[in-house]
Structure 1
Amino acid sequence: MTQISPREIVQDWVDAFNKADANLISEFYHENAVNHQVAENPVSGKEAIFKMFEQEFSAAEMICIVENIFEDGEWAILEWRDPLGLRGCGFFHIVEGKILLQRGYWDKLTFLRQHNLPLPTR
């Protein structure tokens, strides 16, 4: 049996992300996965990650355009942009064909402004 590579998993993850389907995208994660978008607190567990995506997909229309996907062992690195000009990158640790850890780096303030979402207050 051929195992799918981390690069292929991330490409499939992008396809699911672009469908804005929280059920589909949450299937890419281990039960005990952590998704840490560094502009936010880490989200732990597949169910919590599902809820995070469900909320995010309902708040804004998001599209991920792949610029590069790099692979190094169990890791895949995604460089992306969106149609509004936001750019970012994500690091995915893939274990046994599932995402165990994801870290994402992007400009939250720009994202909120582009989507006319409330800005944080102090």
Structure 2
Amino acid sequence: MSATDNDKLVQEFVEAFNTKDAEKVGAFLHPEVVFQNYGESPVTGRDAVVEVWEGVFRNFAQVKFETVNQAVNGDVVLAEQVHGLAFPGGKLAPIMNLAVYEIRDGKIAAWRDYGNPQYAMKLLQS
């Protein structure tokens, strides 16, 4: 895939979160994907990652993800993002995140999210 294809793949992947449909998110993932969210153990395999996001989508009333800046170097995409999350009855918390994606066979094979979980919790509880 070209850098342009990888750029578009990640943009569409991030937009898929706004549907709160874990299967739609999973369609972008390689079957052997490894997902690492800062401070947590890695999750391996598309089905396991989809299961994680099914739980996230159940727990949050609102999910609004957007990309602020994105850079592509071959099969690696770096994306500065805002993960907007809100618990039921809560306000949308703008959580800054940096994601690193590695693309293989047209799918996301590695995905690492870097952020500050303590600050995220503070925002979510405000």
Q: TM-score, normalised by structure 1?
A: 0.85
Give the superposition deviation at 1:7: 0.8
2:110 maps to amino acid: L
The superposition leaves residues 40-59 of structure 1 with CA deviations (integer Å, 9 ceiling, x where unpaired) of 11100011000011011112
1:4-19 equivalence runs, <5 A: 5-19=5-19
Where structure 2 has 5 or more consecutive residues not aligned to the other structure, the ranges are 85-92
2:64 maps to amino acid: I
Q: How many residues align?
A: 115
Q: What residue in structure 2 maps to residue 58 of structure 1? A: 58
1:1-122 equivalence runs, <5 A: 5-60=5-60, 61-83=62-84, 84-116=93-125
Counterparts of 1:57 and 1:42, CA distance in 2: 19
Give the superposition deviation at 1:112: 2.4
Question: Would you tell me which structure has more strand in proportion to its own residues?
Answer: 2
Counterparts of 1:49 and 1:91, CA distance in 2: 16
The superposition leaves residues 19-55 of structure 1 with CA deviations (integer Å, 9 ceiling, x where unpaired) of 1110100111111110011221110001100001101
Whether the aligned pair in 1 keeps the contact of 2:97 and 2:113 (CA below 8 Å) is yes
The superposition leaves residues 61-92 of structure 1 with CA deviations (integer Å, 9 ceiling, x where unpaired) of 33212111110010111101245332111000
Counterparts of 1:81 and 1:88, CA distance in 2: 6
RMSD, aligned CA: 1.7
2:38 maps to amino acid: V
Q: What residue in structure 1 maps to residue 87 of structure 2? A: none
Q: TM-score, normalised by structure 2?
A: 0.83
The sequence identity of aligned pairs, in percent, is 23
Where structure 1 has 5 or more consecutive residues not aligned to the other structure, the ranges are 117-122
